[in-house]
Amino acid sequence: MIRMQPQGRVLIIAGSDSGGGAGIQADIKTVSALGGYAMTAVTALTAQNTLGVHAVHSAPPDFVAAQISCVLEDLGADVVKTGMLGGAAVIAAVCAALEGRGLPLVLDPVMVAKGGASLLAEEAIAHLKRRLLPLASLLTPNLPEAEALCGMRISTEAEMHHAAEALLTLGVPAVLLKGGHLPGDDLVDLLVTDVETITFRSRRIATRHTHGTGCTLGSAIATYLAQGRSLPDAVSVARDYVRAAIETAPGLGQGHGPLNHLVWQTNG
């Protein structure tokens, strides 16, 4: 047996998914499968399955901050990735714990679960825009999240370009705008910075097993960045990984099923 040492430390700040398809569970599986070392600060516990989120129990903000500090002061991190944060108080605690550390941050602005349940309080959006976005290295919204953040309707690829540019003005240096909510068989994601726009295109996979795709993509990008890849390369390979995980999904559950996070093993 070949024993591999993990490469790239990723601190994940997000909520737990009892169904194992999204949230902290998907993040840990992804980072580990791609050869990184995953650490966590849990922001909330959720009672959920493939049919939806049935209950949420939020962690106290000071306890979220304590988890972050304990990890960073001992183990350190190469990249931080955030997911479900829940409310303004937790966002403030996360910002206070990360400010001044200079760590790359992949920010997945988790707002709505796959089944439609709200995962970010309305009043927290302004707090996220004001305090957390300026700390981010990469913002990875889907279209509904981007609409909430930039206040514009996005229904075409041209409008995606306008929205991505608008998101850059909020203080984040790079945006990966995910176009999976647009109709049609062709999928378009845009990676936009001040100097370039890179368009990623693929064909939609006809499946209901897409629970946790956003969490998985963000954690895959974070892992590859922690391992020293460039941002465009990290995004490209992470998208390939997510596609393979969807194509080989185990078919579990009656609703939006989980992906096969183990489709690639250690630096696939």
Q: Which of 210, 216, 223, 257 is catalytic?
A: 210
Q: Is 178 a catalytic residue?
A: yes
Beta-sheet strand order (sheet of 186-193): 52-58, 37-49, 9-17, 79-82, 105-107, 138-139, 174-178, 186-193, 197-203
Instruction: Say which amino acid occupies 227.
Output: Q
Q: Which of 19, 30, 215, 216 is catalytic?
A: 215
User: Kind of pairing, strands 186-193 and 197-203?
Assistant: antiparallel
Q: Is 257 a catalytic residue?
A: no
Q: Which of 178, 179, 253, 257 is catalytic?
A: 178
Q: Which of 213, 216, 218, 253 is catalytic?
A: 213
Q: Is 210 a catalytic residue?
A: yes
Q: Cα–Cα–Cα angle for 146, 150, 154, nearest 5°?
A: 55
265 token code pair: 């093993």
Q: Which of 23, 35, 86, 214 is catalytic?
A: 214
Q: How far apart are CA 247 and CA 254, in angstroms?
A: 17
Q: Is 95 a catalytic residue?
A: no
- Residues forming beta bridges with residue 112, ordered by sequence position: 118
Number of residues that make up the chain: 268
Q: Give the residue numbers annotated as catalytic, written as ranges.
A: 178, 210, 212-215
